[in-house]
Amino acid sequence: MTEDRLLRVQDLVLHFRTTQGVVQAVDGVSFELERHEAVVIIGESGCGKSSLARAILRLLPRNVHAYSGKVYLNGTDVMSLDEEQFRREVRWVKMSLVPQAAMNALNPVLRVGDQVAEPTMVHLKVDKQQALQQARKMFEHVGVPVDFLNRYAFELSGGMRQRVALAMALVTAPDLVILDEPTSALDVLTQANIFNLLKRLKRELATGFVLITHDIATSSELADHVAVMYAGQIVELNDAARFFSEPLHPYSQKLMASVPRLRADIEPDFITGQPPSLINLPAGCRFAPRCPSRFAKCDQDPPLFGQGRRQVRCWLYE
Amino acid sequence: MNQESARLPNPSTAIGGDGRGDRSDAMLLSVQDLHVWFELKRWGFAHAGYVRAVDGVNFDLRQGEAIAIVGESGCGKSSLMKTILGLNRPIKGDILFEGQKLSELRGRSLQWYRSQVGYVQQDPYGALPPFMSVRRILEEPLVINRVKDGEERQARIVKVMEEVKLFPVDDFLTKFPHMLSGGQQQRVVIARSMILNPKLLVADEPVSMLDASVRVEILKLLRGLQESHNLAVIYITHDLSTVRYFSEYIFVMYAGQIVEKARVNDLLRHARHPYTHALLEATSDPDAKNAEVFKEVPPGEPPSLVNPPSGCRFHPRCPHMMKDLCDVQVPPDFEPTPGHFAACWLYR
Ligand SMILES: Nc1ncnc2c1ncn2[C@@H]1O[C@H](COP(=O)(O)OP(=O)(O)OP(=O)(O)O)[C@@H](O)[C@H]1O
Ligand SMILES: Nc1ncnc2c1ncn2[C@@H]1O[C@H](COP(=O)(O)OP(=O)(O)O)[C@@H](O)[C@H]1O
Ligand code: SF4
Ligand code: SF4
Ligand SMILES: [Mg+2]
Ligand SMILES: [Mg+2]
């Protein structure tokens, strides 16, 4: 039954070694995703969102201290593949990434059309002619005029460059696309246009999306499911309809309360204190030092309570 | 929101440009027909046109008043601010501070002007010198402005740090910027901008680089300072959802010009200009229903400021464009309701 799930992440761990100690950036993360669906991962800066993306795609830096867990894609355990197989069969082919600040990371000396053609040539082994044909189609798909194929990145606006980065991730028709802060650096109108595009793609393509962001308001533009991350762990998993009206975890509630609203007369409130260092994590609940509801039990590590698509890491829900 | 209007320092403030408003000497800052153009050079010398970053901007600001300037990136917000700070020279128009022309200030009086205007810049991460401790960062403006007494300097540093809530002060004094979180760095930037007791604070996207959870904290801090010091504040942002917590007036800027001016509530509830409508529509509140609908936002991007569109600069993207009018004639400021200005032919 679970075999037809697009993505299943189980107990994923990614720790980094540094001179100060071990950074527990991803510390036992599990979630699932279907085709035509999007899960958004939200949380404050430094909580491990981008590291989670790297862990899923096995894009690891040199200083890895620990890397473990399971990632199933269409039922296949991709963690058990060796690096060569993973590169040949999974990364870019079945899952791709639009990295944080991708629009600033395009190659300045290559025409953007060639850059979008490259993944299909390298990973799907099609010839240049056909790859350019596909790039052209992808440009139309993401709303970049096709005569931009011959331009360089610096000749494009931020919004257009972000669309090109998106085209690069989609051109191989992957099953899963991970978007790391795709619109954070963009203006509101450009942002809205990109989200319109993502909504359309989610309906049209049999692709699943993992959207990483710290912008809670815009995350609701795409979310079917929400995963809230705090200090390397998921502290709440919920479906979007319930999450945005009634978040469960005290941290999620605080996060939601911090969002300034245009259409409601709610005075936003901020979260006092700072997230813990991922090197020296507090014993017990990691949110306890900032939690208004903490009680005696919170000295112990809370497990995830609840099941399936609705889980919360908090003793209040024991 | 009612609370907010009750807090208005001066309910009869005139914001009209174009000679409409009250231009009495009570104005702290008066921006008059301001044009800031940057020359484009080809091969380093041949003239190749101008970037018209600010192209005919008018507004007045009283002591204690907070306004927000809202618009997309590249519309000229930072250029406008830098001109107010005296960092850019206008090619036309004037800025008056307490009745004195900024273009005529020199030497000591220019230094005095700079001490009257605090600046919180867009990117806190680049704003602070990396090899200076918080103490030195805050001491420097005092030294430059000849506060000679070391004890007085120390007292002022402690006071301003308490005001921006950098507690415990002693711990922070010796820290260097890289040891601080983004939110703490922005507090240091704000402390530095306040240390000379300015009358005007210019905050250019002060929270856009910060986490959502810290944004509100910093905005509330700025609001608190504005009230306790009766500061005039110009808050620049592209995020409409934050302005209602902060300012009394909103000026909407598009392609180098202000296209709508109104009180905050008036603008949010009865926006007039099609561009303002687009900004409002594009702004999200957290709501699961958002995922089910497409936003009705104009396609395309802001125009080039070298060759801006004729007539109304928004006309190529405007759903209400009237042929042979909007694409030909520049719309003046219309005033559909008292105190609410929109540069749009729909209100002729
Ligand atoms: N290669 C690395 N070596 C050591 N520490 C790292 C490495 N990469 C990330 N980290 C640390 O891991 C933690 C999580 O980083 P990550 O980039 O995943 O955060 P994030 O949630 O994506 O934050 P942001 O919202 O700022 O992008 C941070 O404390 C970061 O400093
Ligand atoms: N020193 C400069 N030289 C040339 N062009 C400039 C300069 N400063 C700003 N510009 C241009 O002026 C326009 C407005 O920029 P800016 O005021 O920074 O906009 P905003 O702050 O609204 O994003 C942009 O097209 C920008 O590239
Ligand atoms: S476990 Fe305790 S401290 Fe942690 S979030 Fe729940 S109530 Fe707060
Ligand atoms: S003047 Fe015309 S084109 Fe410009 S905003 Fe108004 S209706 Fe639209
Ligand atoms: Mg990140
Ligand atoms: Mg700017």
pLDDT of residue A3: 59
Distance from CA of A317 to the nearest CA of B (A): 23
Asked whether the beta carbons of B218 and B188 are under 8 A apart, the reply is no
- The residue-averaged pLDDT of A189-194 equals 89
At residue B25 the predicted structure's pLDDT band, cuts being 50, 70 and 90, is very low
Beta strand B117-120 pairing with A21-33: unpaired
Asked whether the beta carbons of B183 and B205 are under 8 A apart, the reply is no
Q: What single letter denotes the amino acid at residue A264?
A: A
> Which chain A residues are closer than 8 Å to B268 by Cβ?
262
At residue B5 the predicted structure's pLDDT band, cuts being 50, 70 and 90, is very low
Q: Does B217 touch chain A (CB under 8 A)?
A: yes
Annotate B237-265 with b (16+ C-beta within 10 A) or e (fewer): bbbbbbbbbbbbbbbbbbbbbbbbbbbbe
Asked whether the beta carbons of A214 and A40 are under 8 A apart, the reply is no
Ligand 3 neighbourhood includes A287 CB (under 6 angstroms): yes
Provide the residue ranges of all domains of chain A, joining segments of one domain with +. 5-94+174-317
Cβ contacts of A216 within 8 Å, gap of 6 or more = A42, A255, A256, A259, B212, B286
- The residue-averaged pLDDT of B309-316 equals 96
Topology (CATH) of A5-94+174-317: Rossmann fold (3.40.50)
Residue nearest atom 6 of ligand 4, based on CA coordinates? B344
Atom of ligand 1 nearest to the CA of A62: 1
Ligand 5 mean position to A101 CA, how many Å? 9
Cβ contacts of A80 within 8 Å, gap of 6 or more = none
- The residue-averaged pLDDT of A55-80 equals 95
Phi, psi of B251 (to 5 degrees): -115, 125
Q: Please name the member of A191, A214, A243 whose beta carbon is closest to the beta carbon of B282.
A: A191
At residue B191 the predicted structure's pLDDT band, cuts being 50, 70 and 90, is very high
pLDDT of residue A257: 93
Test B291 with A190 for CB contact under 8 angstroms: no
pLDDT of residue A185: 74
> Which chain B residues are closer than 8 Å to A188 by Cβ?
72, 238-240, 279, 282-283
Q: Does B295 touch chain A (CB under 8 A)?
A: yes
Test A216 with B295 for CB contact under 8 angstroms: no
- Least confident interval from A235-249, B91-105, B175-189, B203-217: B203-217
**Cα–Cα distance measured from residue B191 to residue B169, given in angstroms and rounded to the nearest whole number:** 12
Report every protein residue that has its C-beta within 5 angstroms of ion ligand 6. Answer: B 78
pLDDT of residue B53: 93
SS3 at position A30: strand
B308 CA to centre of own chain: 22
- The residue-averaged pLDDT of A5-26 equals 94
The pLDDT mean for chain B works out to: 88
The residue among A49 and B41 whose pLDDT is bigger is A49
Residue nearest atom 7 of ligand 3, based on CA coordinates? A294
Phi, psi of A168 (to 5 degrees): -60, -35
At residue A48 the predicted structure's pLDDT band, cuts being 50, 70 and 90, is very high
Ligand 3 neighbourhood includes A216 CB (under 6 angstroms): no
Phi, psi of A306 (to 5 degrees): 95, -175
Phi, psi of A316 (to 5 degrees): -60, -20
- Least confident interval from A41-50, A263-272, B222-231: A263-272
Test A190 with B301 for CB contact under 8 angstroms: yes
Residue B23 has pLDDT above 50, yes or no: no
> Which chain A residues are closer than 8 Å to B284 by Cβ?
192, 217-218, 220-221
Residue A166 has pLDDT above 80, yes or no: yes
Residue B1 has pLDDT above 60, yes or no: no
Ligand 1 mean position to A50 CA, how many Å? 7
pLDDT of residue B126: 78
What ipTM is given for this predicted complex?
0.89
At residue A266 the predicted structure's pLDDT band, cuts being 50, 70 and 90, is confident
pLDDT of residue A206: 87
Q: Which ligand does the CA of B329 lie closest to?
A: 4
Q: What is the pLDDT of residues B108-147, one digit of tens each?
A: 899 999 999 999 987 777 789 999 999 999 999 999 998 9
Q: What percent of chain A has pLDDT over 90?
A: 75
Q: Number of CB pairs < 8 Å for A and B? A: 123
Q: How many residues does chain B have?
A: 348
> Which chain A residues are closer than 8 Å to B299 by Cβ?
193
At residue A72 the predicted structure's pLDDT band, cuts being 50, 70 and 90, is very high
Q: What is the pLDDT of residues A102-146, one digit of tens each?
A: 888 899 999 999 999 999 999 989 999 999 999 999 998 888 999
Residue B10 has pLDDT above 50, yes or no: no
Q: What is the DSSP string of A124-189?
A: H---HHHHHHHHHHHHHHHT--GGGGGSBGGGS-HHHHHHHHHHHHHTT--SEEEEESSSTTS-HH
Among A17, A22, A23, which residue has the most ligand 1 atoms within 8 Å of its CB, making it the best to mutate?
Answer: A23
Residue B3 has pLDDT above 80, yes or no: no
Asked whether the beta carbons of B76 and B54 are under 8 A apart, the reply is yes
Global pTM value:
0.88
Ligand 2 neighbourhood includes B77 CB (under 6 angstroms): yes
At residue B179 the predicted structure's pLDDT band, cuts being 50, 70 and 90, is confident
Atom of ligand 2 nearest to the CA of B305: 25
The pLDDT mean for chain A works out to: 92
**Cα–Cα distance measured from residue B57 to residue B70, given in angstroms and rounded to the nearest whole number:** 14
Q: Please name the member of B181, B285, B295 whose beta carbon is closest to the beta carbon of A261.
A: B285
The burial class, CB within 10 Å (0-12 / 13-18 / 19+), for B293 is: exposed
Residue B17 has pLDDT above 60, yes or no: no
pLDDT of residue B43: 75
Query: Which residue's entry shows tokens 């990632």?
Result: A71
SS3 at position A5: coil
Test A270 with B282 for CB contact under 8 angstroms: no
pLDDT of residue B121: 84
Residue B271 has pLDDT above 90, yes or no: yes
